[in-house]
Amino acid sequence: MTTAIDVTGLRQSYGDFEAVRGITFDVRQGELFALLGTNGAGKTTTMEVLAGYSRPSGGSVRVLGLDPVKARRQLRPRMSIMLQEAGFLGDLTVAETVELWRGMAKDAGREPLTGNPIELVELTSKAKVKVKQLSGGQKRRLDLALAILSLPEVLFLDEPTTGMDPEARQRTWEIVRSLREAGTTILLTTHYLEEAERLADRLAIMHEGVIRIAGTVDEVVATSGDQLSFRLPERHELLPAIEDRPPSIAGGRAAYKVYGSAHGAMRELLDWADKYQVDLERLEVRPGTLDDVFLRVAKEAK
């Protein structure tokens, strides 16, 4: 598989503040890669460098094998970005806005989306409304329509579903999936980890300008062990340490975070319960989640 996006040792500074501090990753052709991370981690900065908004202050980036700044002219028709924040010409209607963008794509030699992008993002009833009158979530949907209507080979989506209601979010996921199935390479950022879990082939979690962990969703989640928890028994002072760690106790429950699988830990726990004739009420085993990994990454750095 060929590489569509290649980032090597990327650094980006604003004045003397270094927002991105040497990150390396690649996205293969037709893959959906999610860039996750805390606020201010440098996700938007990275995306904007890839989209050719600014030259990196260090390292190198390639999109479809080209330098996004130097080869801007060649790259422009082949890629598209849905910015985290961007304005519209407020006095144009939704339909006029889409028409302007569709026209520009055609002028640039693209064969734009055949269907109606306004229908696709379910804004049909707002087609004749001025853009400045749209709600936040509706604007976000229009944003999505503009980003995809040129059917780009590489698509950058910077928090596409922020501000969308659950239904619009589902719709967006469907659209993103179908683009991916059609072979579009997609780089996505989101704070909805469920979104990344559902859509991403691979992901990276950033914090303060550095990638802390990366891999497939399964690989990343696997770094966080399962969790065993149960209602705190009366004789809890006798609870054993499992894998050399004492239970954490909160809200009337005891919990063990285990490395890897819960299988062995469960056996140890049940043996202990048998020995002391304790009934482990409301016993639960929960696999590790992306949330766990994310929170760990954010905490570890402090």
Partner 1 sequence: MKTDALHAVRLARTDLKLLGRNYVALFNVMVLPLLFGFLYLQMTEDPTFVLSGMPGILLIFTAFLNLVNTFTARREELVLKRLRGGQSSAAAIFGGAGLGALAVFVFQVVLLIVLTNRYAGALPTNPVPMIVGGLLGVAVFALLAAAFSGITPSAEMAQLTPMPVLIVLMFAAPLAWPLDQMPAALEIVSRVLPVTPVMELMRAGYYGASLGEMSVYVATLLGWVAVSALLVKLFFRWDPRHN
Ligand X SMILES: Nc1ncnc2c1ncn2[C@@H]1O[C@H](COP(=O)(O)OP(=O)(O)OP(=O)(O)O)[C@@H](O)[C@H]1O
Window of 12-20, 62-70, 101-109, 257-265 that interacts with ligand X by CB under 6 A: 12-20
- Select from Mg ion, partner 1, ligand X, none the partner in contact with residue 168, using the beta carbon and a kind-dependent cut-off of 5 to 8 Å: none
What's the min distance (Å) between Cβ of 152 and partner 1?
Answer: 10
Q: Does 161 bind ligand X (CB under 6 A)?
A: no
The answer to whether the CB of 232 falls within 8 A of the CB of 252 is yes
Considering only residues 107-166, where is the footprint of Mg ion by CB under 5 A? none
- Measured CA to CA, the distance from residue 105 to residue 161 in angstroms comes to 24
Please give the angle made by the CA atoms of 264, 270 and 271, to the nearest 5 degrees: 90
Q: Which of 69, 61, 54, 73 is nearest to 14 (CA)?
A: 54
Tally Cβ neighbours within 10 Å of residue 164: 20
Nearer to Mg ion, 43 or 139 (CB): 43
Considering only residues 48-107, where is the footprint of partner 1 by CB under 8 A? 51, 53-54, 72-73, 76-77, 80-81, 83, 85-92, 96, 100-101, 103-105, 107
Query: Given strand 227-231, what is the order of strands in its sheet?
Result: 248-250, 253-257, 227-231, 284-286
Q: Does 3 bind Mg ion (CB under 5 A)?
A: no
Q: Does 224 bind Mg ion (CB under 5 A)?
A: no
E-state strands within 222-290 = 227-231, 248-250, 253-257, 284-286
DSSP-based three-state secondary structure for 94: helix
Q: Does 190 bind Mg ion (CB under 5 A)?
A: no
- Select from Mg ion, partner 1, ligand X, none the partner in contact with residue 37, using the beta carbon and a kind-dependent cut-off of 5 to 8 Å: ligand X
Q: Does 38 bind Mg ion (CB under 5 A)?
A: no
- Integer Rg of the chain from CA: 24
- Select from partner 1, ligand X, Mg ion, none the partner in contact with residue 287, using the beta carbon and a kind-dependent cut-off of 5 to 8 Å: none
Considering only residues 110-139, where is the footprint of partner 1 by CB under 8 A? 110
| Six token digits for residue 23 | 């990150």
The answer to whether the CB of 97 falls within 8 A of the CB of 62 is no
Phi-psi region of 260 (alpha: psi -120 to 50; beta: other; left: phi over 0): left
Q: Find residue 80's DSSP bridge partners.
A: 155
What's the min distance (Å) between Cβ of 139 and partner 1?
Answer: 12
Considering only residues 57-96, where is the footprint of ligand X by CB under 6 A? 84
From candidates 7, 33, 44, 199, binder to ligand X by CB under 6 A:
44
Tell me phi and psi for residue 93, to 5 degrees.
Answer: -80, 170
Q: Does 19 bind ligand X (CB under 6 A)?
A: yes
The answer to whether the CB of 186 falls within 8 A of the CB of 155 is yes
Considering only residues 119-138, where is the footprint of ligand X by CB under 6 A? none
Q: Find residue 25's DSSP bridge partners.
A: 7
Mask: binding to Mg ion, 43-62, rule CB under 5 A, as x and -? xx------------------
Query: SS3 for 119-151, per residue?
Result: HHCCCHHHCCCEHHHCCHHHHHHHHHHHHHCCC
Residues at the site binding ligand X, with contacts judged by CB under 6 A: 14, 17, 19, 37, 39-45, 84
Q: Which residues of this chain interact with Mg ion, rule CB under 5 A?
A: 43-44, 84
Residue ranges in contact with partner 1 by CB under 8 A? 14, 51, 53-54, 72-73, 76-77, 80-81, 83, 85-92, 96, 100-101, 103-105, 107-110, 146, 150
